[in-house]
Amino acid sequence: MLGLVAGTDEIRERALAALRACGVDVDALRTEGEAAASAGAPVVTARTPVTGEDLFPLPATSADGVAAAVGLAEGAFAVWRTTPAPVRGFLVKRLGQLLVEHLDDLAALVTTEVGKTPSEARGEVQEMVDVCDLAVGLSRQLTGRTMPSERPGHRLMETWHPLGPVAVVSAFNFPVAVWSWNSALALVCGDPVVWKPSELTPLTALACTALAERAARECGAPEGLVPLVLGGADVGKQLVDDPRVPLVSATGSVPMGRDVGARVAARFGRTLLELGGNNCAVVAPSADLDLAVRGIVFAAAGTAGQRCTTLRRLLVHSSVADELLARLVEVYGRLPVGDPSAEGALVGPLVAPRAHEAMEAALARARADGGEVLVGGERVLVDEAPAARYVRPAVVRMPAQTDVVRTETFAPVLYVMTYDDLDEAIAVHNDVPQGLSSAIFTLDAREAERWMAADGSDCGIVNVNIGTSGAEIGGAFGGEKETGGGRESGSDSWRAYMRRATNTVNHSRELPLAQGVDFG
């Protein structure tokens, strides 16, 4: 177990320094936040799960402020949509450069607000840089198709146009990457982005926005391309309901997505939903167990189980179950848990006490269902960090896939079940409401192909011999069923941020009607 390497005061000073380095006027914001707090006005309190303590209050965006932010974005759209896409790419290229310059500042803020280890925090910022690269390339490849027309002297083609201001509502656990997946693409597609980050991560959002504003200024882009609004679900709801926002990209829990999806559908807007997962790995008899153990432990215990792609269920062939479980229990028993900045730390804190309560409740339900906790589950560093929530990741052997196993608990709990037949394993795997990420560990080509086939895993991410988490930005990211169906980042995800026009051009002197219709 690793202790705390810094107290709240030191963490606060480091965060302030990182914010100033990114160009945030944090001293003014802090003064405003303190004035708002003493006047009883709404605030967003920056805090750190590393000690579990508050850092300082920031002013929440008022209803008028949210409306004004959308207004600004609408104004920017009028200019940005006719700016050539490769020129829009210059802005994203500059943003990528600034992200590289401030990689350490941003990573420090991610560690402060989410409790990720420096390596994972840097990885998240690197992902932003990578997606900027992808978007810059795309800015010259927003291509439409030309289809053969059935009429002589006609051309049929599609054109992709900017859509309008995009609202991005993001979750706490990827406080910067999710914004960048959306914004880098949306900006090259010609759309401004109004961002409502998680109320748990306002600082990383302020830093990213300051860098994006700087990039926009330096490129002569219009003001209002990247407005930020701070607040809780009420601020999110106002943004989601605004008819000037044609696309809402929302990342978070299933209940949030259910509400957002219905509200936006009611006004015929579009949504891109990235919601909860309940990710599973199958370990087949032929699996390379060395590889499987490493893949499983990173996916299940990394980020303290707080990734949407975290491995939460394991289906192990009964012939290898005892050996695999013994190895997992041994590795789990020596996982370094503690201050994410401590030397060697691999598992940081849970984000808030409610996450710990949810974990305890899930473990109690699992035990009541006949589950056996093989390792972990206990809270640690209680005296040293009483306001924080550090836990040992748990492995629970379950007799069956009961309701608690079918539910996403956003904490490091890995439920293990055994199987004898791959068809049976695939059926159990798919028998959950969520459909984000999945993996099989096998050296049998037939099993791997069956897993990826139409009647295999029903998830949006279907891996072989690699864990469920840690996706690359080149592929489309997202999942099915209650995960929401959205796709972000690579492949053709950019299409979500544009509107398609189908053009039929007649360059003949006749006016033949389609389907041979005769109109006199």
Binding site for ligand NAD (CB under 6 A): 169-174, 196, 198-199, 232-233, 236-237, 240, 251-253, 256, 259-260, 274-277, 308, 408, 410, 436, 483
Region for 484 from its dihedrals, namely left if φ exceeds 0, alpha if ψ lies in -120 to 50, beta otherwise: left
3-state DSSP of 425-463: HHHHHHCCCEECEEEEECCCHHHHHHHHCCCCCCCCEEE
Find the catalytic residue in 132, 308, 447, 482. Answer: 308
Distance CA 309, CA 467 (A): 9
Q: Are strands 43-48 and 53-59 parallel, antiparallel or unpaired?
A: antiparallel
Nearest distance from C-beta of residue 238 to ligand NAD, angstroms: 9
Q: Is 292 helix (H, G, I), strand (E, B) or coil?
A: helix
Q: Taking the complex as a whole, how short is the minimal distance between the CB of residue 271 and ligand NAD, in angstroms? A: 11
22 catalytic? Reply is: no
Look up 274 and say whether it is catalytic.
Answer: yes
Give dist(CA 348, CA 303) in Å, integer. 7
User: Is the Cβ of residue 254 or residue 375 nearer to ligand NAD in the bound state?
Assistant: 254
Cβ(359)–Cβ(373) below 8 Å = no
Q: How far is the CB of 234 from ligand NAD (least distance, A)?
A: 8
Are the C-beta atoms of residues 304 and 348 closer than 8 Å to each other? Answer: yes
In three-state secondary structure terms, 21 is: helix
Helix (H, G, I), strand (E, B) or coil at 278: coil
The minimum distance between CB 186 and ligand NAD, in angstroms, equals: 16
Nearest-approach distance from CB 514 to ligand NAD, in angstroms: 41
Q: Are 52 and 349 in contact (CB under 8 A)?
A: yes
For residue 508, the minimal CB distance to ligand NAD (Å) is: 49
| 274, 408, 447, 488: the active-site residue | 274
Closer residue to ligand NAD in complex, CB, 341/489: 489
Structure tokens at 423: 């068809």
Amino acid at 287: A
Amino acid found at 199: E
**Which tokens is 480 given?**
């099915």
Cβ proximity of 320 and 423 under 8 Å: no
Positions marked active-site: 274, 308
